[in-house]
Amino acid sequence: MQPPSSTIIGTDGKNLYWIDQVKGEQTTPLSPSIPTPAWFNVKSYGAKGNTKSVADGVSSGSNLISSATADFTSADIGKLCFGIEMASGIARIAQSVIASVISPTEAIVAGGVTAGYSNLKFVWGTDDTAALKAAWIAAVNAATETSAFNQNGMGVVYCPSGGYMFSYLPFLNSAQPGVSLLGDGPRKTVFYPTPKYNFSGGFTNGFGMLLQNFNGGVENEIGNFSVDGSNIGYTASGVSGCLVEVSGCPFVHDLIVENVGFSGFDAIGGIYAPESVAGLWQNVHVVACETGYSIHINGANTRSVLLNCGASNGATFTIQNVNNGTSYEGDGGALTYLGSLNDEGGNPNLEFVNCSDTTIIGCSLFGNADSTPLTVDATSDVSIFGCFIGPYSYHSETNAGALVIQEGGIVRAAGNRFLSYGSGVAVNNSGTFIDMGGNTITNSSGSGTIVSAAANTTADTAGALVGYKLEYINGTLQKIPYYAVS
Protein backbone atom coordinates (compact mmCIF):
# COMPACT_ATOMS: atom_id res chain seq x y z
CA MET A 1 0.00 0.00 0.00
CA GLN A 2 1.31 3.43 -0.93
CA PRO A 3 2.10 5.62 2.12
CA PRO A 4 0.01 8.81 2.17
CA SER A 5 3.11 11.04 2.19
CA SER A 6 4.76 9.45 -0.87
CA THR A 7 4.49 9.51 -4.64
CA ILE A 8 5.44 6.99 -7.29
CA ILE A 9 8.72 7.64 -9.14
CA GLY A 10 9.20 4.53 -11.24
CA THR A 11 9.47 0.78 -11.50
CA ASP A 12 12.13 -1.82 -12.24
CA GLY A 13 9.60 -3.94 -14.13
CA LYS A 14 8.64 -5.94 -11.05
CA ASN A 15 8.35 -3.50 -8.17
CA LEU A 16 7.15 0.06 -7.67
CA TYR A 17 9.39 2.66 -6.07
CA TRP A 18 8.10 5.60 -4.05
CA ILE A 19 9.62 8.80 -2.71
CA ASP A 20 8.73 10.13 0.71
CA GLN A 21 7.54 13.71 0.22
CA VAL A 22 8.35 14.64 3.81
CA LYS A 23 11.83 13.10 4.09
CA GLY A 24 12.71 13.49 0.40
CA GLU A 25 14.10 9.94 0.39
CA GLN A 26 13.49 7.08 -1.99
CA THR A 27 12.02 4.03 -0.32
CA THR A 28 12.65 0.35 -0.95
CA PRO A 29 10.07 -1.49 -3.05
CA LEU A 30 6.73 -1.53 -1.27
CA SER A 31 4.59 -3.45 -3.71
CA PRO A 32 5.11 -6.86 -5.32
CA SER A 33 2.86 -5.99 -8.26
CA ILE A 34 2.63 -3.26 -10.89
CA PRO A 35 -0.55 -1.29 -11.46
CA THR A 36 -1.43 -0.74 -15.09
CA PRO A 37 -0.21 1.62 -16.32
CA ALA A 38 2.96 2.27 -14.31
CA TRP A 39 4.54 5.73 -14.26
CA PHE A 40 8.20 6.33 -15.15
CA ASN A 41 9.67 9.62 -13.96
CA VAL A 42 12.44 10.75 -16.32
CA LYS A 43 14.39 12.21 -13.40
CA SER A 44 14.70 8.70 -11.98
CA TYR A 45 16.68 7.88 -15.14
CA GLY A 46 19.06 10.84 -14.89
CA ALA A 47 17.21 13.70 -16.61
CA LYS A 48 18.14 17.10 -15.18
CA GLY A 49 15.34 19.23 -16.63
CA ASN A 50 17.49 22.35 -16.15
CA THR A 51 17.33 23.93 -19.63
CA LYS A 52 16.43 27.63 -19.74
CA SER A 53 15.92 30.18 -22.49
CA VAL A 54 15.80 33.95 -22.91
CA ALA A 55 14.72 36.08 -25.86
CA ASP A 56 16.95 39.11 -25.24
CA GLY A 57 20.40 37.65 -25.94
CA VAL A 58 23.09 39.94 -27.36
CA SER A 59 26.25 38.59 -29.02
CA SER A 60 29.50 40.53 -28.66
CA GLY A 61 33.19 40.09 -29.34
CA SER A 62 35.37 37.69 -27.32
CA ASN A 63 32.55 35.11 -27.33
CA LEU A 64 30.46 37.16 -24.94
CA ILE A 65 26.73 36.60 -24.55
CA SER A 66 24.74 39.06 -22.49
CA SER A 67 21.11 39.06 -21.38
CA ALA A 68 19.31 41.26 -18.88
CA THR A 69 17.04 38.36 -17.90
CA ALA A 70 19.38 35.33 -17.94
CA ASP A 71 20.47 35.24 -14.26
CA PHE A 72 23.59 33.17 -15.01
CA THR A 73 25.30 31.36 -12.12
CA SER A 74 28.50 29.34 -11.76
CA ALA A 75 26.37 26.19 -11.99
CA ASP A 76 25.82 27.04 -15.69
CA ILE A 77 29.48 26.50 -16.58
CA GLY A 78 29.81 23.48 -18.86
CA LYS A 79 26.16 23.44 -19.92
CA LEU A 80 25.30 23.10 -23.61
CA CYS A 81 24.24 26.39 -25.22
CA PHE A 82 23.30 28.05 -28.50
CA GLY A 83 21.78 31.32 -29.73
CA ILE A 84 19.38 31.76 -32.66
CA GLU A 85 18.50 35.03 -34.35
CA MET A 86 14.70 35.10 -34.13
CA ALA A 87 14.36 37.28 -37.21
CA SER A 88 16.12 34.79 -39.52
CA GLY A 89 16.40 31.39 -37.83
CA ILE A 90 20.20 31.51 -38.21
CA ALA A 91 22.51 30.42 -35.38
CA ARG A 92 24.57 33.46 -34.33
CA ILE A 93 26.00 31.62 -31.32
CA ALA A 94 27.12 28.19 -32.43
CA GLN A 95 26.17 25.17 -30.37
CA SER A 96 28.89 24.75 -27.73
CA VAL A 97 29.12 25.10 -23.93
CA ILE A 98 29.28 27.95 -21.44
CA ALA A 99 32.97 28.39 -20.62
CA SER A 100 32.66 30.91 -17.80
CA VAL A 101 30.19 33.20 -16.08
CA ILE A 102 31.14 36.85 -15.57
CA SER A 103 27.95 38.06 -13.90
CA PRO A 104 24.23 37.22 -13.78
CA THR A 105 23.85 39.00 -17.12
CA GLU A 106 27.08 37.97 -18.92
CA ALA A 107 28.75 34.70 -19.85
CA ILE A 108 31.52 33.48 -22.17
CA VAL A 109 30.77 30.60 -24.54
CA ALA A 110 33.32 28.17 -25.96
CA GLY A 111 32.06 28.09 -29.53
CA GLY A 112 31.90 30.57 -32.36
CA VAL A 113 29.98 33.80 -31.87
CA THR A 114 28.89 36.18 -34.59
CA ALA A 115 29.08 39.54 -32.85
CA GLY A 116 26.66 42.40 -33.20
CA TYR A 117 23.29 40.65 -32.96
CA SER A 118 20.51 41.31 -30.46
CA ASN A 119 17.14 39.74 -29.70
CA LEU A 120 18.72 36.29 -29.87
CA LYS A 121 16.93 33.23 -28.51
CA PHE A 122 19.65 31.96 -26.16
CA VAL A 123 19.15 28.43 -24.77
CA TRP A 124 21.38 26.65 -22.23
CA GLY A 125 21.13 23.47 -20.17
CA THR A 126 21.89 19.74 -20.04
CA ASP A 127 21.26 17.43 -22.99
CA ASP A 128 18.70 15.03 -21.46
CA THR A 129 18.09 12.87 -24.55
CA ALA A 130 19.68 9.69 -23.22
CA ALA A 131 17.76 9.89 -19.94
CA LEU A 132 14.45 10.58 -21.70
CA LYS A 133 14.99 7.60 -23.97
CA ALA A 134 15.95 5.35 -21.05
CA ALA A 135 12.68 6.14 -19.26
CA TRP A 136 10.75 5.45 -22.45
CA ILE A 137 12.45 2.09 -23.02
CA ALA A 138 11.72 1.12 -19.41
CA ALA A 139 8.05 1.89 -19.96
CA VAL A 140 8.01 -0.24 -23.12
CA ASN A 141 9.81 -3.11 -21.37
CA ALA A 142 7.27 -3.09 -18.55
CA ALA A 143 4.65 -4.52 -20.91
CA THR A 144 2.77 -7.40 -19.33
CA GLU A 145 1.98 -9.01 -22.67
CA THR A 146 4.08 -8.73 -25.81
CA SER A 147 3.36 -9.60 -29.42
CA ALA A 148 4.35 -8.16 -32.77
CA PHE A 149 1.78 -5.35 -32.63
CA ASN A 150 0.50 -5.44 -29.07
CA GLN A 151 2.26 -4.63 -25.80
CA ASN A 152 -0.31 -4.48 -23.02
CA GLY A 153 0.51 -2.62 -19.85
CA MET A 154 2.95 -0.10 -21.26
CA GLY A 155 3.00 2.88 -18.94
CA VAL A 156 3.32 6.63 -18.71
CA VAL A 157 6.59 8.53 -19.08
CA TYR A 158 6.30 11.50 -16.76
CA CYS A 159 8.38 14.67 -17.23
CA PRO A 160 8.09 17.01 -14.22
CA SER A 161 8.24 20.79 -14.60
CA GLY A 162 11.50 21.93 -16.16
CA GLY A 163 13.30 22.37 -19.46
CA TYR A 164 14.56 19.28 -21.32
CA MET A 165 17.04 19.67 -24.18
CA PHE A 166 17.10 16.87 -26.78
CA SER A 167 19.49 16.22 -29.68
CA TYR A 168 18.06 13.03 -31.23
CA LEU A 169 14.79 11.09 -31.13
CA PRO A 170 13.94 10.14 -27.50
CA PHE A 171 10.38 8.83 -27.82
CA LEU A 172 9.26 6.16 -30.33
CA ASN A 173 5.97 4.25 -30.09
CA SER A 174 6.48 1.10 -32.17
CA ALA A 175 3.70 -1.12 -30.80
CA GLN A 176 0.20 -0.83 -29.42
CA PRO A 177 -1.30 0.45 -27.21
CA GLY A 178 1.67 2.80 -26.86
CA VAL A 179 3.48 4.62 -24.07
CA SER A 180 1.83 7.82 -22.86
CA LEU A 181 3.84 11.04 -22.47
CA LEU A 182 2.75 13.55 -19.82
CA GLY A 183 4.24 16.64 -18.21
CA ASP A 184 3.05 19.16 -15.63
CA GLY A 185 1.52 21.55 -18.16
CA PRO A 186 2.43 23.67 -21.20
CA ARG A 187 5.32 26.05 -20.51
CA LYS A 188 5.91 24.19 -17.24
CA THR A 189 7.34 21.09 -18.90
CA VAL A 190 9.22 22.34 -21.98
CA PHE A 191 11.29 20.45 -24.56
CA TYR A 192 14.03 22.20 -26.62
CA PRO A 193 15.61 20.68 -29.76
CA THR A 194 19.25 21.52 -30.52
CA PRO A 195 20.54 23.14 -33.74
CA LYS A 196 22.80 20.12 -34.33
CA TYR A 197 19.93 17.66 -33.97
CA ASN A 198 21.07 14.20 -35.11
CA PHE A 199 18.52 13.22 -37.75
CA SER A 200 20.22 9.82 -38.11
CA GLY A 201 19.62 9.00 -34.43
CA GLY A 202 16.34 7.17 -34.94
CA PHE A 203 14.46 9.95 -36.77
CA THR A 204 12.26 8.76 -39.66
CA ASN A 205 12.10 11.40 -42.37
CA GLY A 206 8.70 13.05 -42.49
CA PHE A 207 7.77 12.28 -38.88
CA GLY A 208 8.48 13.66 -35.39
CA MET A 209 11.75 14.86 -33.85
CA LEU A 210 10.59 14.57 -30.21
CA LEU A 211 7.91 11.90 -30.54
CA GLN A 212 7.09 9.43 -33.31
CA ASN A 213 3.81 7.62 -32.83
CA PHE A 214 3.06 6.19 -36.27
CA ASN A 215 3.12 2.46 -35.42
CA GLY A 216 1.33 2.54 -32.09
CA GLY A 217 -0.55 4.72 -29.72
CA VAL A 218 -4.15 3.62 -30.23
CA GLU A 219 -4.75 3.79 -26.48
CA ASN A 220 -2.17 6.28 -25.26
CA GLU A 221 -2.31 9.87 -24.04
CA ILE A 222 -0.05 12.76 -25.04
CA GLY A 223 -0.13 16.13 -23.31
CA ASN A 224 0.65 18.60 -20.53
CA PHE A 225 3.83 19.97 -22.12
CA SER A 226 5.16 22.36 -24.73
CA VAL A 227 7.93 22.25 -27.31
CA ASP A 228 9.95 25.39 -28.00
CA GLY A 229 11.59 25.06 -31.42
CA SER A 230 13.82 28.04 -30.55
CA ASN A 231 13.31 29.52 -34.06
CA ILE A 232 15.93 27.10 -35.41
CA GLY A 233 16.11 26.78 -39.19
CA TYR A 234 17.48 23.32 -40.02
CA THR A 235 19.75 23.07 -43.05
CA ALA A 236 20.05 19.27 -43.41
CA SER A 237 19.34 18.45 -47.05
CA GLY A 238 15.98 16.84 -47.72
CA VAL A 239 14.83 16.87 -44.10
CA SER A 240 11.11 17.21 -43.47
CA GLY A 241 8.83 16.37 -40.60
CA CYS A 242 7.58 17.92 -37.40
CA LEU A 243 8.40 18.22 -33.73
CA VAL A 244 5.53 16.08 -32.37
CA GLU A 245 3.80 13.29 -34.32
CA VAL A 246 0.64 11.92 -32.69
CA SER A 247 -1.09 9.61 -35.14
CA GLY A 248 -3.89 7.54 -33.61
CA CYS A 249 -3.71 8.89 -30.06
CA PRO A 250 -7.18 8.89 -28.49
CA PHE A 251 -6.39 11.84 -26.22
CA VAL A 252 -4.02 14.68 -27.17
CA HIS A 253 -4.38 17.64 -24.84
CA ASP A 254 -2.77 20.73 -23.32
CA LEU A 255 0.02 20.76 -25.87
CA ILE A 256 1.75 23.84 -27.31
CA VAL A 257 4.39 23.84 -30.03
CA GLU A 258 5.92 27.25 -30.71
CA ASN A 259 8.74 29.12 -32.45
CA VAL A 260 9.08 26.49 -35.16
CA GLY A 261 11.80 26.94 -37.76
CA PHE A 262 11.95 29.65 -40.34
CA SER A 263 10.92 29.99 -43.98
CA GLY A 264 13.67 29.18 -46.47
CA PHE A 265 14.98 26.23 -44.45
CA ASP A 266 14.01 22.57 -44.63
CA ALA A 267 10.43 22.03 -43.54
CA ILE A 268 10.09 21.11 -39.89
CA GLY A 269 6.49 21.69 -38.85
CA GLY A 270 4.66 21.63 -35.55
CA ILE A 271 2.21 18.75 -34.94
CA TYR A 272 1.43 15.98 -37.42
CA ALA A 273 -1.14 13.19 -37.38
CA PRO A 274 -0.20 11.35 -40.61
CA GLU A 275 -2.73 8.51 -40.57
CA SER A 276 -5.77 9.15 -38.40
CA VAL A 277 -7.26 11.08 -35.56
CA ALA A 278 -9.40 9.00 -33.24
CA GLY A 279 -10.89 10.60 -30.17
CA LEU A 280 -10.33 14.02 -28.61
CA TRP A 281 -7.80 16.78 -29.16
CA GLN A 282 -8.18 19.46 -26.49
CA ASN A 283 -6.19 22.69 -25.99
CA VAL A 284 -3.68 21.86 -28.73
CA HIS A 285 -1.98 24.90 -30.29
CA VAL A 286 0.88 25.80 -32.59
CA VAL A 287 2.19 29.36 -32.34
CA ALA A 288 4.66 31.13 -34.66
CA CYS A 289 5.44 28.43 -37.20
CA GLU A 290 7.41 29.71 -40.18
CA THR A 291 7.74 26.45 -42.12
CA GLY A 292 5.37 24.50 -44.38
CA TYR A 293 2.62 23.70 -41.89
CA SER A 294 1.91 23.96 -38.19
CA ILE A 295 -0.84 21.40 -37.56
CA HIS A 296 -1.49 18.75 -40.20
CA ILE A 297 -4.21 16.14 -39.64
CA ASN A 298 -4.54 13.44 -42.27
CA GLY A 299 -7.67 11.32 -41.90
CA ALA A 300 -10.32 10.51 -39.29
CA ASN A 301 -11.43 6.89 -39.12
CA THR A 302 -13.74 7.36 -36.15
CA ARG A 303 -15.71 10.33 -34.93
CA SER A 304 -13.18 12.85 -33.61
CA VAL A 305 -13.48 16.20 -31.85
CA LEU A 306 -10.99 19.07 -31.82
CA LEU A 307 -11.88 21.32 -28.86
CA ASN A 308 -10.16 24.69 -28.36
CA CYS A 309 -7.34 23.89 -30.78
CA GLY A 310 -5.71 26.23 -33.24
CA ALA A 311 -2.80 27.81 -35.04
CA SER A 312 -1.70 31.41 -34.69
CA ASN A 313 0.98 34.01 -35.48
CA GLY A 314 1.69 32.88 -39.03
CA ALA A 315 0.93 29.20 -38.43
CA THR A 316 -1.27 27.17 -40.80
CA PHE A 317 -3.70 24.35 -40.03
CA THR A 318 -4.49 21.66 -42.62
CA ILE A 319 -7.16 18.97 -42.16
CA GLN A 320 -7.05 16.34 -44.89
CA ASN A 321 -8.83 13.14 -45.97
CA VAL A 322 -11.57 13.08 -43.33
CA ASN A 323 -13.88 10.26 -44.45
CA ASN A 324 -11.77 10.26 -47.66
CA GLY A 325 -13.94 13.02 -49.05
CA THR A 326 -16.93 10.72 -49.58
CA SER A 327 -19.84 12.96 -48.75
CA TYR A 328 -21.92 11.64 -45.83
CA GLU A 329 -21.03 8.02 -46.44
CA GLY A 330 -22.00 7.24 -42.84
CA ASP A 331 -19.09 4.92 -42.09
CA GLY A 332 -18.30 6.66 -38.79
CA GLY A 333 -15.47 8.80 -40.13
CA ALA A 334 -16.08 12.38 -39.06
CA LEU A 335 -14.41 15.38 -37.48
CA THR A 336 -15.86 18.28 -35.49
CA TYR A 337 -13.83 21.45 -34.90
CA LEU A 338 -15.43 23.01 -31.83
CA GLY A 339 -15.07 26.24 -29.85
CA SER A 340 -11.61 27.08 -31.19
CA LEU A 341 -9.64 30.20 -32.05
CA ASN A 342 -7.29 30.55 -35.00
CA ASP A 343 -5.52 33.84 -34.42
CA GLU A 344 -3.81 35.59 -37.34
CA GLY A 345 -2.57 32.40 -38.94
CA GLY A 346 -0.86 31.86 -42.27
CA ASN A 347 -2.44 31.62 -45.71
CA PRO A 348 -4.71 29.76 -45.55
CA ASN A 349 -5.19 29.79 -41.80
CA LEU A 350 -7.43 26.70 -41.81
CA GLU A 351 -7.70 24.49 -44.88
CA PHE A 352 -9.85 21.42 -45.58
CA VAL A 353 -8.62 19.02 -48.27
CA ASN A 354 -10.65 15.97 -49.39
CA CYS A 355 -12.87 16.09 -46.29
CA SER A 356 -16.51 15.27 -45.70
CA ASP A 357 -18.71 14.80 -42.64
CA THR A 358 -16.67 17.65 -41.18
CA THR A 359 -18.22 20.38 -39.04
CA ILE A 360 -16.99 23.68 -37.58
CA ILE A 361 -19.03 24.88 -34.58
CA GLY A 362 -18.63 28.07 -32.55
CA CYS A 363 -15.12 28.93 -33.77
CA SER A 364 -13.37 32.24 -34.46
CA LEU A 365 -11.05 32.19 -37.45
CA PHE A 366 -9.06 35.39 -37.85
CA GLY A 367 -6.87 35.87 -40.89
CA ASN A 368 -3.66 37.84 -41.04
CA ALA A 369 -3.16 40.70 -43.47
CA ASP A 370 -3.82 39.58 -47.07
CA SER A 371 -4.54 36.00 -45.94
CA THR A 372 -7.59 33.74 -46.03
CA PRO A 373 -8.89 32.42 -42.70
CA LEU A 374 -10.70 29.41 -44.22
CA THR A 375 -10.34 27.48 -47.49
CA VAL A 376 -12.48 24.50 -48.58
CA ASP A 377 -10.96 22.65 -51.51
CA ALA A 378 -12.66 21.06 -54.53
CA THR A 379 -13.10 17.66 -52.85
CA SER A 380 -14.49 18.77 -49.48
CA ASP A 381 -17.96 19.10 -47.96
CA VAL A 382 -17.90 21.17 -44.75
CA SER A 383 -20.66 22.43 -42.44
CA ILE A 384 -20.15 25.69 -40.52
CA PHE A 385 -22.38 26.80 -37.62
CA GLY A 386 -22.18 29.82 -35.32
CA CYS A 387 -18.70 30.98 -36.31
CA PHE A 388 -16.94 34.31 -36.83
CA ILE A 389 -14.66 34.19 -39.89
CA GLY A 390 -12.74 37.18 -41.18
CA PRO A 391 -9.77 39.49 -40.58
CA TYR A 392 -9.05 41.73 -37.64
CA SER A 393 -10.51 45.20 -37.92
CA TYR A 394 -7.11 46.90 -37.96
CA HIS A 395 -6.41 45.18 -41.28
CA SER A 396 -9.12 47.29 -42.93
CA GLU A 397 -6.66 48.74 -45.41
CA THR A 398 -5.69 45.33 -46.83
CA ASN A 399 -7.19 42.82 -49.21
CA ALA A 400 -8.59 40.65 -46.42
CA GLY A 401 -11.42 38.15 -46.86
CA ALA A 402 -12.98 35.23 -45.00
CA LEU A 403 -13.92 32.05 -46.92
CA VAL A 404 -12.73 30.54 -50.21
CA ILE A 405 -14.68 27.63 -51.71
CA GLN A 406 -12.91 26.04 -54.65
CA GLU A 407 -14.81 24.64 -57.62
CA GLY A 408 -16.45 21.37 -56.56
CA GLY A 409 -16.32 22.19 -52.87
CA ILE A 410 -19.46 22.45 -50.72
CA VAL A 411 -20.08 24.58 -47.63
CA ARG A 412 -23.30 24.34 -45.59
CA ALA A 413 -23.61 27.36 -43.30
CA ALA A 414 -25.96 28.74 -40.62
CA GLY A 415 -25.66 31.54 -38.09
CA ASN A 416 -22.18 32.70 -39.11
CA ARG A 417 -20.50 36.05 -39.75
CA PHE A 418 -18.33 36.15 -42.88
CA LEU A 419 -16.60 39.53 -42.96
CA SER A 420 -14.05 41.26 -45.17
CA TYR A 421 -12.13 44.53 -45.21
CA GLY A 422 -10.69 46.69 -47.93
CA SER A 423 -11.02 44.98 -51.31
CA GLY A 424 -11.28 41.52 -49.72
CA VAL A 425 -14.22 39.22 -50.43
CA ALA A 426 -16.12 37.67 -47.53
CA VAL A 427 -17.19 34.59 -49.49
CA ASN A 428 -15.23 33.82 -52.65
CA ASN A 429 -17.30 30.95 -53.95
CA SER A 430 -16.44 28.86 -56.99
CA GLY A 431 -18.20 25.79 -55.58
CA THR A 432 -21.54 25.53 -53.76
CA PHE A 433 -22.55 27.62 -50.75
CA ILE A 434 -25.72 26.35 -49.06
CA ASP A 435 -27.14 29.19 -46.97
CA MET A 436 -29.21 27.63 -44.18
CA GLY A 437 -30.07 31.03 -42.71
CA GLY A 438 -28.80 33.47 -40.12
CA ASN A 439 -25.54 34.25 -41.94
CA THR A 440 -24.04 37.73 -42.21
CA ILE A 441 -21.98 38.09 -45.40
CA THR A 442 -20.48 41.49 -46.19
CA ASN A 443 -19.88 40.58 -49.85
CA SER A 444 -19.43 37.58 -52.12
CA SER A 445 -17.98 36.78 -55.53
CA GLY A 446 -17.06 33.89 -57.78
CA SER A 447 -18.80 31.69 -60.32
CA GLY A 448 -20.16 29.20 -57.79
CA THR A 449 -23.73 28.51 -56.69
CA ILE A 450 -25.45 29.96 -53.64
CA VAL A 451 -28.44 27.91 -52.49
CA SER A 452 -30.90 29.17 -49.88
CA ALA A 453 -32.25 26.30 -47.81
CA ALA A 454 -34.44 26.42 -44.71
CA ALA A 455 -33.98 23.66 -42.16
CA ASN A 456 -36.89 21.23 -41.98
CA THR A 457 -36.46 17.77 -40.51
CA THR A 458 -39.92 16.49 -41.48
CA ALA A 459 -39.53 14.70 -44.78
CA ASP A 460 -43.28 14.35 -45.38
CA THR A 461 -43.76 18.12 -45.68
CA ALA A 462 -40.48 19.02 -47.32
CA GLY A 463 -38.82 19.04 -50.69
CA ALA A 464 -35.54 17.52 -51.82
CA LEU A 465 -32.81 16.49 -49.38
CA VAL A 466 -30.28 19.30 -49.10
CA GLY A 467 -27.89 18.05 -46.45
CA TYR A 468 -27.51 17.40 -42.75
CA LYS A 469 -27.20 19.26 -39.49
CA LEU A 470 -25.92 18.22 -36.06
CA GLU A 471 -28.21 18.04 -33.03
CA TYR A 472 -27.84 16.72 -29.50
CA ILE A 473 -30.59 14.14 -28.93
CA ASN A 474 -30.73 12.41 -25.55
CA GLY A 475 -27.17 13.55 -24.86
CA THR A 476 -25.78 12.20 -28.14
CA LEU A 477 -24.57 14.28 -31.07
CA GLN A 478 -26.49 13.00 -34.09
CA LYS A 479 -26.65 13.83 -37.80
CA ILE A 480 -30.15 14.87 -38.90
CA PRO A 481 -31.20 15.37 -42.55
CA TYR A 482 -32.68 18.68 -43.58
CA TYR A 483 -34.78 19.43 -46.65
CA ALA A 484 -35.54 22.36 -48.87
CA VAL A 485 -38.96 23.83 -48.02
CA SER A 486 -41.29 23.09 -50.94
Using the predicted structure, report yes or no on whether residue 330 has a pLDDT greater than 70: no
Number of domains in the chain: 3
Q: Please give the average per-residue pLDDT across 434-461, as a whole number.
A: 73
- Tens-place pLDDT, residues 7-26: 555 554 445 555 555 555 55
User: With bands split at pLDDT 50, 70 and 90, how would you rate the model's confidence at 32?
Assistant: very low
> Alpha carbon of 110 to those of 69, 94, 113, 128, 448: distances in Å?
21, 9, 9, 20, 62
Using the predicted structure, report yes or no on whether residue 460 has a pLDDT greater than 50: no
| 357 within some domain | yes
> Alpha carbon of 243 to those of 47, 139, 169, 260: distances in Å?
20, 21, 10, 8
Using the predicted structure, report yes or no on whether residue 413 has a pLDDT greater than 90: yes
Write down the pLDDT at residue 482.
Answer: 57
Write down the pLDDT at residue 479.
Answer: 58
> Alpha carbon of 303 to those of 373, 417, 477: distances in Å?
24, 27, 10
Write down the pLDDT at residue 87.
Answer: 85
Write down the pLDDT at residue 397.
Answer: 56
Q: Please give the average per-residue pLDDT across 187-207, as a whole number.
A: 94
Write down the pLDDT at residue 266.
Answer: 80
Write down the pLDDT at residue 327.
Answer: 54
| 131 within some domain | no
Q: Please give the average per-residue pLDDT across 264-291, as a whole number.
A: 84
| 178 within some domain | no
Between 407 and 249, the higher pLDDT residue: 407
Write down the pLDDT at residue 137.
Answer: 92
Q: Rounded to 5 degrees, what angle do the CA atoms 114, 124, 101 make?
A: 75
Between 175 and 304, the higher pLDDT residue: 304
- Number of H helices and E strands in the chain, helices first, is 1, 44
Sheet of strand 241-245: strand arrangement: 171-172, 208-212, 241-245, 268-273, 295-300, 317-322, 350-353, 374-376, 403-405, 427-429, 444-445
- Tens-place pLDDT, residues 74-118: 999 999 999 999 888 899 999 999 999 999 999 999 988 999 999
Asked if 269 and 409 sit in the same domain, the reply is yes
Between 160 and 297, the higher pLDDT residue: 160
Q: Give percent of the chain above pLDDT 70.
A: 77
| 441 within some domain | yes
Q: Please give the average per-residue pLDDT across 251-279, as a whole number.
A: 85
**pLDDT-wise least confident of 10-19, 96-105, 354-363, 419-428:** 10-19
Write down the pLDDT at residue 150.
Answer: 66
Write down the pLDDT at residue 129.
Answer: 98
What is the CATH classification number for the domain harbouring 75? 2.40.30
Using the predicted structure, report yes or no on whether residue 65 has a pLDDT greater than 90: yes
Between 71 and 23, the higher pLDDT residue: 71
Using the predicted structure, report yes or no on whether residue 243 has a pLDDT greater than 90: yes
| 29 within some domain | yes
Most distant CA pair in the chain: distance in Å?
A: 84
| 370 within some domain | yes
Asked if 271 and 385 sit in the same domain, the reply is yes
Instruction: Quote the CA–CA distance of 206 and 321 in Å, as a whole number.
Output: 18
Using the predicted structure, report yes or no on whether residue 395 has a pLDDT greater than 70: no
Write down the pLDDT at residue 462.
Answer: 47
Write down the pLDDT at residue 342.
Answer: 84
Using the predicted structure, report yes or no on whether residue 349 has a pLDDT greater than 90: no
Asked if 26 and 59 sit in the same domain, the reply is no
Instruction: Quote the CA–CA distance of 11 and 142 in Å, as a whole number.
Output: 8
Asked if 106 and 212 sit in the same domain, the reply is no
Asked if 28 and 85 sit in the same domain, the reply is no
Between 479 and 358, the higher pLDDT residue: 358
Asked if 299 and 443 sit in the same domain, the reply is yes
Instruction: Quote the CA–CA distance of 72 and 126 in Å, as a whole number.
Output: 14
Asked if 422 and 278 sit in the same domain, the reply is yes
Range of the domain at 370: 146-152+200-219+227-452
Write down the pLDDT at residue 35.
Answer: 44
Between 448 and 149, the higher pLDDT residue: 448
Coil, strand or helix at 460: helix
| 169 within some domain | no
Asked if 107 and 24 sit in the same domain, the reply is no
DSSP state of 134: H
Asked if 12 and 114 sit in the same domain, the reply is no
Between 49 and 446, the higher pLDDT residue: 49
Strand intervals (E) in 139-289 = 145-146, 151-152, 156-159, 162-166, 171-172, 180-183, 189-193, 208-212, 221-228, 241-245, 251-260, 268-273, 280-289
Enclosing H/E stretch for 310:
strand 310-312
Q: Give percent of the chain above pLDDT 90.
A: 46
Instruction: Quote the CA–CA distance of 102 and 65 in Å, as a whole number.
Output: 10
Asked if 305 and 252 sit in the same domain, the reply is yes
Asked if 360 and 431 sit in the same domain, the reply is yes
What's the chain's average pLDDT? 82
Write down the pLDDT at residue 486.
Answer: 47
- Tens-place pLDDT, residues 205-238: 989 999 998 766 677 899 999 999 999 988 887 8
**pLDDT-wise least confident of 165-174, 234-243, 325-334:** 325-334
| 166 within some domain | no
Asked if 120 and 237 sit in the same domain, the reply is no
